[in-house]
Amino acid sequence: MTSIKTRRVKSQELFTEAQTLIPGGVNSPVRAFKSIDGSPIFFKKAKGAYLWDEDDNRYIDFVGSWGPMILGHADADVECALKLALESGTSFGAPTRLENEMAAEVIKLVPSIEMVRMVNSGTEAVMAAIRLARAYTTQRNPKQTKIIKFRGCYHGHADALLVQAGSGVATLGLPDSPGVTASAVQDTILATYNDTDELEKIFKQYPGEISAIITEPVIGNAGCILPEPGFLEFLREICTKNNALLIFDEVMTGFRVALGGAQARFNVQPDITTLGKVIGAGLPVGAYGASKEIMSLVAPAGAMYQAGTLSGNPLAMTAGLTCLRKIQSPEFYQDLEKKTLYLIEGMKAVANERSIPLQVSSCGAMFGFFFSDKPVRNYEDTKYVDMNKFRNFYLAMLDHGVYFAPSAFEAGFMSAAHSYEDLDQVLKNFGQVLTKL
Ligand SMILES: Cc1ncc(COP(=O)(O)O)c(C=O)c1O
């Protein structure tokens, strides 16, 4: 049988061409497969749990476009709604009924949100959330401008947050990025996720200066790292005690770890929430929301400026709304979580049988695994991960038609379309691959 590898000729040709046209041949760095010394696959089609590349190889997909595809690819209801919406025009740059419906849905589902503003990406949502936090805290105290961010959390590519970010930044080993000036990050303080003592010290060191803590409530951009019991509650308390705001960046965890996001799952309410990915069902959407009091600062209700030509785009709202309405059945998240545990515990058992150290974790429909014999509780612990093993594992799984994220520092995503047959296939391949590692 010819292996998939030898049949990825068209992807290779397209990548060679792309490198002459697009920086690094890709429109987002982690797609380049650099951390595993590979060559990216060019896809042409997706349906359900599967992707097809330009050479017609089929892959079981756990990337899900980096999170949005919780229903699986090309969901029939989303497609149908989009086709209908297309007939009414693609953008008006004016308010629509759909935006009211989307806002009402988000407010209903996400516990801490009373008002919401739609934007076009997660990066945009986070940029606005930071500006909003500072606008809020400096009303009372002009010095309250600093933001605490955890190493390994990725919050998009806005300058102020591109310091020790996870995701592609971790993958490429860039501590930060050229072009980000010292002044852009001078109000960003780095902290260690799951370390409460360090946070106490930071608040003591900068009395009255912390505007907000921003965190991924479950880190999904350095693998999948869970908050230890009490950690999110601690964040809530220390922010409240210091009149600082707590921002949950739920771009990844929103509608992914539970219907109401991590804040519903862990029962901790942030002041500001950012959303993205699932809320657009594969179209470019982001959002940020908070209490009415905080959101009333946003223009034109208030003075904090934020705008967008395509914000609330009717196609994006249609796709997102159709998705949000489909994921509300009580069984939806139970089924997803069951499948995620089946896969991740199955992988752990397969690794144990072969005495290969593997750390696994999951939360709702997101999961991660590290080839490491030490538990990973923050970004600092990822230095123990066996990158070479990950690389060999990754390329071999690809040749079996299993598509995980091409980096040891990314989460995996389960969709409603994955079947237990798919998962059994993956576990079987995983065993075959580990035996040869
Ligand atoms: C937690 C988190 N925040 C923000 C972003 C940035 O979102 P986008 O890529 O849509 O700009 C991401 C992207 O992966 C993310 O995972």
Which residue carries 């990337």 as its tokens? 63
Q: Using 50, 70 and 90 to split pLDDT, how confident is the model at 167? A: low
Range(s) of the domain holding residue 289: 76-326
- In this predicted structure, the answer to whether residue 283 has a pLDDT above a threshold of 80 is yes
Are residues 236 and 364 located together in one domain of the fold? no
The best mutation among 126, 162, 379 to test binding of ligand 1, ranked by most ligand atoms within 8 Å of the C-beta, falls on 126
296-300, 327-331, 427-431: range with lowest mean pLDDT? 327-331
Are residues 53 and 105 located together in one domain of the fold? no
- Quote the pLDDT of residue 155: 96
User: Of 284, 307, 326, which one is at a domain's C-terminal end?
Assistant: 326
User: Of 302, 326, 350, which one is at a domain's C-terminal end?
Assistant: 326
Are residues 151 and 139 located together in one domain of the fold? yes
Residues 225 and 378: beta-carbon distance below 8 Å: yes
- Quote the pLDDT of residue 175: 46
Are residues 299 and 360 located together in one domain of the fold? no
User: Of 326, 347, 365, which one is at a domain's C-terminal end?
Assistant: 326
Domain containing 174 — which CATH number? 3.40.640.10
Are residues 151 and 198 located together in one domain of the fold? yes
Are residues 62 and 27 located together in one domain of the fold? yes
Residues annotated as catalytic are 154, 249, 277
Is any atom of ligand 1 closer than 6 Å to the C-beta of 126?
Answer: yes
Neighbouring residues of 140: CB distance < 8 A, sequence distance ≥ 6: 243
Long-range residue pairs from 368-371, CB within 8 A, at least 24 positions apart, any chain:
368/220, 368/223, 368/224, 368/225, 368/410, 368/411, 368/412, 369/223, 369/344, 369/412, 370/223, 370/408, 371/408
- Quote the pLDDT of residue 3: 61
Is any atom of ligand 1 closer than 6 Å to the C-beta of 128?
Answer: no
Is any atom of ligand 1 closer than 6 Å to the C-beta of 276?
Answer: yes
Q: Give the total number of structural domains in the chain.
A: 2
Q: Please give the Cα distance from 380 to 396 (Å, whole number).
A: 27
217-221, 280-284, 291-295, 327-331: range with lowest mean pLDDT? 327-331
Are residues 307 and 334 located together in one domain of the fold? no
Is any atom of ligand 1 closer than 6 Å to the C-beta of 250?
Answer: no
Which residue carries 């009373």 as its tokens? 114
Nearest protein Cα to ligand 1, atom 3: 155
